[in-house]
Structure 1
Amino acid sequence: MHGPDGPVGLLPLAREAVARARRTVRSRGPAAVTAKGDRDLVTDVDLAVEEEVRSFLARETPEIGLLGEEHGLSGAPAGPRWVLDPIDGTANFARGIPLCAVSLGLITGGRSVLAVIDHPFLGAVYTAVQGGGAHADGAPIRVSSETDPARAAVAIGDFARGEGAAERNRVRLALMDRLGGRVQRLRMFGAAAIDLAWTASGRIDAAVILANLPWDTSAGALLVREAGGLVLDADGSEHTADSAATIAVAPGLRGMLLDELGRARAAG
């Protein structure tokens, strides 16, 4: 892997790649918004950011491939790869809502080993390296120590779209119904990289994302783990690239959240 120190040695490059993306996102609003599926969209800024980051990382780390949301896999087909979401929360960004993020992770051996998440309009950059803890703007962060559901804030990921969406959304609706009567607040921020970064930093106590797209979750999952949190599949097993869901939770709320999710899945 590029650099003598593995992922630690690549962190400055990852930070620079995301800083370039941040400047592009902040410098211009979307001039073109294009549909790319059922109620899904992409802007010209998403495309510009991905092209810029691809070019930079291909030049600096040619031995590492890159998987991006908009253009798929390029570069080395095997071995470590960067995983990029140029703008997570595109629907928010396109409407001028500042809840969006640039998410860049590095996967090697099937596991996330490096993460940089930038919230361009919220003034925060989150970083993590496997075994090195999680940080926000250079300061260490930890997940919540909450154990009482009545004091917990839980983020729910976006509703499913496309074929089979109604079936998949029944579980989301059942879960929201169950949690709505137990937790202090439910929130839907519209960007997995925000859900996961805020779980890692203790702003919220859990995030339930009933999907697992690598560009959405790879960086954030590492942040949560390195901040002392749990990242699980819907059945409570350890979260992997092959998981069907991404459940990030403070350890003290694991039992409650998995119990309610299990009941919602049975009802849905």
Structure 2
Amino acid sequence: MTDYAQFLPLAQEAVDLAHDLMRTLQPGALTFKNDRDMASEVDYAIERAVREHLAAKAPDIGFLGEEYGSSGDTSTLTWALDPVDGTVNFIHGSPLCAISLGLIHGTDAVLGVIDLPFLGTRYHAAKGHGAHANNRRIHASRVTDLKDAVVAIGDYAVGTEAGRKNTERLAITEQLTRHVQRIRMHGSAAIDLAWLAQGRIDAFIMLNNKPWDTVAGVVIAREAGALVVDIDGTPHSVNAVATIGGGELILPHVLTLIQRSLTPVKPA
């Protein structure tokens, strides 16, 4: 059985490079990729630097980045990078942005490093070794009742079919307002999953799944004791259609609420 912790020092080195770039560079010109979806010059600069560093140090591991796509052999081990998770926050000067570097084995998340350069916190985990924030062990929430839960939701959709997608998101939001203590939208899946691991939120709902957004956070959340699943409740993988997480005691209630939100009401 592979001990994925052997790759943590290299992942930390790569994220150190990214941290310094995010802290020192200005967003620069924006490249619009889709309706209201953009990348900054920093997104591209970080991905180039991390990709080159990892290719030089571990040439047998493939790479998948948000901005430049895949390279190398991605059939077994693959790095997954979101160079700036929360780009809109970053370009608006919000500290709620992150660097997210994960490692995939097959279709499973096995290692993750998430750095919050403007909040001074770094999270890391390797499968079987627990989750840590600034090298201190962290644990997910043990909340049992929705009325006591703070639930984060992913951004509303933009681009193709945004109207249909947001109908589903708004239905879930409406159900959440009836049952949970508070709702939060941080604008960064990496932060949501890291804060799920740390117990700062009790559950997280995102109706999509892009590996660069989720791989690192999924392994960190799981190693902290949270469950992360697809919308049907099956274990989350890179092929999942949604990313839903929570402490083991609250997640069944969250999934029931989601299903209730998305089930069409039959006419009387």
TM-score higher than 0.5: yes
Q: Secondary structure at the match of 2:164?
A: helix
Cα separation, 2, equivalents of 1:45 and 1:25: 7
Q: Is the 8 A contact 2:31 2:38 kept in 1?
A: yes
Report the secondary structure of 1:132's partner residue: coil
Note the residue ranges of structure 1 that are not aligned, 5 or more in a row.
Answer: none
Which residue is 1:153 aligned to? Answer: 150
Using the TM superposition, give the Cα deviation of residue 77 of structure 1 relative to its aligned residue in structure 2, in angstroms. Answer: 3.8
Contact conserved, 2:177 with 2:183, CA < 8 A, in 1?
yes
1:89-168 to 2 correspondence within 5 Å?
A: 89-168=86-165
User: Could you list the runs of 5+ residues in structure 2 that have no partner in the other structure?
Assistant: none
Q: Distance in 2 between matches of 1:172 and 1:261?
A: 10
Q: Which amino acid aligns with 2:61?
A: I
| Preserved CA contact (<8 Å) 1:83 1:214 | yes
1:201 aligns to what? 198
CA separation in 1, counterparts of 2:165 and 2:172?
Answer: 12
1:54 to 51, 55, 78: 51
Answer whether contact 1:154 1:185 (CA < 8 A) is retained. Answer: yes
1:26-63 C-alpha deviation (Å, 9 max, x unpaired)? 01221111211111000000000000001100000011
Look up the match of 2:42. 45
Alpha-carbon separation, structure 1, partners of 2:112 and 2:44: 21
Deviation at 1:109, TM superposition (A): 2.3
Query: What amino acid is aligned across from residue 90 of structure 2 in structure 1?
Result: F
1:22 to 2:19 alignment: yes
Identity over aligned pairs, percent: 49
Give the partner amino acid of 1:220. G
Does structure 2 conserve the Cα–Cα contact (< 8 Å) formed by 1:33 and 1:94?
no
Distance 1:60 1:10, change over 3 A: same
CA–CA distance in structure 1, aligned partners of residues 76 and 237 of structure 2: 17
> 1: distance between equivalents of 2:81 and 2:98?
11
Q: Structure 1 residue 193: deviation in Å?
A: 0.1
Which of structure 1's runs of 4+ aligned residues deviate more than 4 A? none
1:159-180 deviations in whole A, cap 9, x for unaligned? 1222212111111101100111
* 2-structure distance, mates of 1:6, 1:151: 37
> What is the letter of the counterpart of residue 120 of structure 1?
P
Distance 1:41 1:153 in 2: 29
Equivalenced residue count is 265
Q: Does 1:248 align with 2:245?
A: yes
The reply to whether residue 69 of structure 1 matches residue 66 of structure 2 is: yes
Q: 1:80 aligns with which of 71, 74, 77?
A: 77
Bigger mean CA deviation after superposition, 215-224 or 77-86: 77-86
1:6, distance to aligned residue in structure 2 (A):
4.2
CA-based RMSD of the aligned residues comes to 1.3
- Mapped to 1, the partners of 2:238 and 2:83 lie a distance apart of 19
TM-score, normalization: structure 1?
A: 0.96
- State how far apart, in whole Å, the 2-side matches of 1:15 and 1:194 are: 17
* C-alpha distance in structure 2 between counterparts of 1:109 and 1:48, whole Å: 28
| 71-80 vs 199-208, which moves further | 71-80
Specify whether residues 77 and 147 from structure 1 end up closer, same or farther in structure 2 by C-alpha distance, changes over 3 A only: closer
* In 2, Cα distance between equivalents of 1:114 and 1:125: 14
Contact 1:126 1:197 in 2 (8 A): yes
How far, CA to CA, are the matches of 1:205 and 1:77 in structure 2?
33
Deviation at 1:255, TM superposition (A): 2.0
2:224 paired residue number: 227
TM-score, with length taken from structure 2: 0.96
- Mapped partners of 1:101, 1:77: distance in 2: 24
